[in-house]
């Protein structure tokens, strides 16, 4: 039989790592950037379709950037904070049950391990050893019953800041050509579509999807949104005029 050191070395040689799939930054950041690009490009295209001046289009873009970024941040903060408060309330229930009914909770954890194929005597022993520390017991029950890690709950502030910054970064792209003197829509559309493709390609590095597929998908969605809103702007502008 190999020595303990050999086993450790073999385990280290075959070790592997995973990406962070539970962090609170990726989803709001990606959603914010895409939303900023698509919604602001759509807004500006709709205004342009109504034959508005370049100044009006730029003002609409800046207003859309500000309103959308604050809206995204506020919504994301409220959403994550509410979810966190719900989890914390359930953790308090579990903490109270562990304090008031430790034997019942021990039986519950034992039954859980038995249901997963552990021999009853061994399951009882493992459950007993793991629940000697109250905080460790809470963490185990939270993972098994609620599917959460009490020490790694998402941060509302991180989610809000990620959403705000990402939305603003995306939404500013179609505005930039107008800020530098452009008088036609096509530079804004071109820059926004390039931004959408780049965002999709960058996200693919995290999700392990082909970069070209992710980039083209975002470009197609953004282009379709801009085309539809431009057409609606043209129709409404003609009708109002």
pLDDT digits (tens, 9 = 90+) for 82-137: 999 999 999 999 899 888 999 998 998 899 889 988 899 999 998 899 888 888 88
> Which residues are within 8 A (CB) of 11 and not within 5 positions of it... i.e. 6 or more apart?
none
Q: Does residue 36 lie in a domain region? A: yes
Residue 15 is assigned to a structural domain of this protein: no
Is residue 28 very low, low, confident or very high in pLDDT (cuts 50, 70, 90)? low
Q: Over the stretch 61-97, which tens digit does the pLDDT of each residue have?
A: 999 999 999 998 999 899 999 999 999 999 999 899 8
186-236 per-position pLDDT tens digit: 999 999 999 989 888 877 776 677 888 988 988 898 888 888 988 888 887
Say how far residue 87 (Cα) sits from the centre of its chain.
18
Work out the burial of residue 90: count CB atoms within 10 Å of its CB; fewer than 13 is exposed, 13-18 middle, 19 or more buried.
middle
Give the alpha-carbon dihedral of 87, 91, 92, 93, to 10 degrees. 100
Q: ∠ CA(52), CA(56), CA(57), 5° rounding?
A: 80
What is the domain range of residue 229? 31-235
| Domain-embedded: residue 19 | no
Question: What pLDDT does 23 receive?
Answer: 47
Contact 60, 151 (CB under 8 A): no
Q: Which residue has better confidence, 30 or 161? A: 161
Q: What pTM value is reported for the model?
A: 0.74
Q: What is the pLDDT of residue 130?
A: 85
Could you tell me if residue 167 is inside a domain? yes
Whether 14 is in a domain gets the answer: no
d(CA 44, CA 36): 12
Question: For residue 50, is it within any domain?
Answer: yes
Asked if the structure places residue 217 within a domain, the reply is yes
The structural domain count of the chain equals: 1
Q: Measuring CA to CA, which residue among 154, 75, 144 is closest to residue 109? A: 144
In a domain, 98, yes or no: yes
pLDDT the model gives residue 89 = 93
């Amino acid at each position: 039989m190999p020595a303990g050191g050999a086993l450790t070395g073999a385990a280290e040689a075959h070790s592997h790592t995973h990406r962070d799939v539970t962090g609170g930054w990726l989803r709001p950041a990606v959603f914010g950037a895409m939303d900023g690009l698509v919604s602001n490009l759509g807004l500006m295209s709709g205004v342009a379709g109504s034959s508005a001046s370049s100044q009006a289009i730029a003002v609409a873009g800046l207003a859309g950037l500000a309103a959308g970024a604050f809206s995204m941040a506020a919504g994301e903060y409220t959403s994550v904070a509410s979810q966190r408060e719900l989890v914390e309330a359930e953790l308090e229930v579990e903490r109270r049950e562990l304090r008031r009914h430790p034997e019942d909770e021990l039986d519950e954890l034992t039954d859980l391990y038995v249901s997963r194929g552990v021999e009853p005597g061994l399951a009882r022993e493992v459950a007993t050893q793991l629940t000697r520390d109250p905080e460790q017991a809470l963490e185990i029950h939270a993972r098994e019953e609620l599917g959460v890690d009490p020490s790694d709950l998402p941060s509302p502030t991180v989610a809000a800041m990620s959403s705000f910054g990402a939305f603003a970064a995306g939404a500013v792209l179609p505005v930039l050509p107008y800020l530098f003197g452009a008088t036609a829509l096509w530079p804004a559309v071109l820059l926004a579509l390039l931004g959408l493709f780049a965002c999709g390609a960058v996200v693919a590095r995290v999700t392990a999807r082909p970069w070209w597929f992710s980039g083209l998908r975002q470009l197609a969605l953004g282009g379709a949104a801009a085309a539809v809103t431009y057409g609606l702007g043209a129709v409404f502008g003609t009708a109002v005029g």
